[in-house]
Amino acid sequence: SYELTQPPSVSVSPGQTATITCSGSKLGDKYACWYQQRPGQSPVLVIYHDTERPSGIPDRFSGSNSGNTATLTISGTQAMDEADYYCQAWDSRAGVFGGGTKLTVL
Amino acid sequence: QAQLVQSGAEVKKPGASVKVSCKASGYSFSSYGITWVRQAPGQGLEWMGWISGYNGNTNSAQKLQGRVTMTTDTTTTTVYMALRSLRSDDTAVYYCARWAVDRDALDIWGQGTMVTVSS
């Protein structure tokens, strides 16, 4: 079965750039999306179709996807961005989530 | 605005069944599918399956096939997820989420339903 791999944790200082990766076989041939989940809350879509932001998502969130790796970048990271982030893709009509990355804003 | 509202928390014994509802409003129900996702305590998200709001076609995760059933009631724009033969490792928060085909993503999420399986 298809698997997506994320680092368990990433730390960043306020105002700096956070980068979260998601790896999977030929992931660049699929569309990747990203969800933010704050503690005790439902996930929120922050990036779809590799690079697109839903309305209401700040432009400090951006994405890319090429080869075997999709990347979520948060520029000018704020304390409110501290959360778990999950990548997701579709394989053979089934959804697949990465294991999640805990972003800590120190 | 579009929203999904789920039924309340459940406590079940091992071997029992549970049925969680997800009421959709604020959008054209038949134009979107609904995906079910669960999250065990302290763990990540697990995709369970989806159902079409248009024709009720379904696809479920291989590990759950035979135990999970997803249905729709178009008159009340409600989606149901039933899981039988419950085990302790089915204890989780269960989410429904709207599947936007044009985005290949889950763009609206319900508030989650806690299902606890305990003897």
Which pLDDT tens digit goes with each residue over B30-49? 999 999 999 999 999 999 99
Residues in a beta bridge with A19: A73
Res B67: pLDDT: 96
Contact B16, B71 (CB under 8 A): no
CB contact under 8 A, B104 and A93: no
Residues of chain B with pLDDT under 70: none
**3-class secondary-structure state, position B111:** coil
Q: Looking at residue A93, what is its pLDDT?
A: 85
Distances (CA, A) of A74 to A88, B78, B112: 17, 36, 27
Distance CA A71, CA B89 (A): 31
Contact B109 A44 (CB under 8 A): yes
Distance from CA of A7 to the nearest CA of B (A): 13
* Contacting residues of A for B101, CB less than 8 Å apart: none
Pair A83, A57: CB distance under 8 Å: no
Which is nearest to A73 in space by CA: A46, A43, A49, A94? A46
Question: What are the Cα distances from residue B49, in Å, to B21, B85, B91?
Answer: 15, 17, 17
Q: Choose among B107, B68, B81, B69: nearest CA to B21.
A: B81
Q: Rounded distance, CA B117 to CA A20, Å?
A: 34
Taking a C-beta distance cutoff of 8 angstroms, is the pair B7, B111 a contact?
no
In a mutational test of the B interface, the residue from A45, A52, A57, A86 whose CB has the highest number of chain B CBs within 10 Å is: A45
Per the DSSP assignment, residues forming a β-bridge with B80 are B21, B71
**B49-62: pLDDT as tens digits:** 999 999 999 999 99
Residue of A42, A85, A102 to mutate, interface with B, max B Cβ within 10 Å? A42
pLDDT at A76: 97
Positions of chain A with pLDDT lower than 50, given as ranges: none
Residue B41's Cα: distance from chain center in Å?
Answer: 17
Q: Which residue reads 């709001």 in tokens?
A: B53
Q: Which residues of A touch B109 (CB under 8 A)?
A: 42-44
Q: Does the beta-carbon distance from B110 to A42 stay under 8 Å?
A: yes
Pick A94's closest partner by Cβ from B61, B100, B109. Answer: B61
Size of chain B, expressed as the number of residues it contains: 119
Judged by CB atoms closer than 8 Å, whether chains meet at B103 and A49 is answered as yes
Q: What's the confidence (pLDDT) of residue B65? A: 86
Q: Is residue A98 within 8 angstroms of chain B, CB to CB? A: yes
